[in-house]
Amino acid sequence: MEGDSGGVGVGDDPVFDNSLVTNVTAQLGNSAHLPCTVLNIKKNNPVSWIRRRDMHILSVESTVFTQDARFQLHRDSDASSRWTLIIKYLKNSDEGTYVCQVSNHRLQIQCA
């Protein structure tokens, strides 16, 4: 999994916490945990995970939009600003860029 960080908040807009590592390497058959932390998040700023290869929307907020049960979303109960995409039992076909996106009047994107 590879990616880069981006996104700049303005005022009270959501902003990505870029202090987390966004390049994740995991072994085939194991799990990959892709963290995304968004600060200043509001209820009207949904967070989504997208697989860049085919632009498949994997999740929006806590709803997962894939029938592949290997993909799960975890939102920390003590840090409601962190969404972690979990891909279990990794396959070669899982390699690529996964995008964490927060929607507001100025779209912000962070790759993980």
112 pLDDT tier (thresholds 50, 70, 90): low
Answer yes or no: is 66 within a domain.
yes
Q: What is the mean pLDDT of residues 58-63?
A: 90
Q: Give the pTM.
A: 0.79
C-alpha–C-alpha distance, residues 57 and 79, integer Å: 23
User: How many structural domains is the chain composed of?
Assistant: 1
CATH number reported for the structural domain that contains residue 45 in this entry: 2.60.40.10
Q: Which domain holds residue 27?
A: 15-111
Answer yes or no: is 85 within a domain.
yes
- With a cut of 60, say whether residue 1 has pLDDT above it: no
Answer yes or no: is 41 within a domain.
yes
Answer yes or no: is 51 within a domain.
yes
DSSP H or E stretch at residue 36: strand 32-39
Answer yes or no: is 7 within a domain.
no
Angle at 33 (CA atoms; ends 43, 53), nearest 5 degrees: 85
Answer yes or no: is 61 within a domain.
yes
Answer yes or no: is 4 within a domain.
no
Residue 7, pLDDT score: 46
91 or 112, greater pLDDT: 91
Answer yes or no: is 9 within a domain.
no
Burial class (CB in 10 A: 0-12, 13-18, 19+), 75: middle
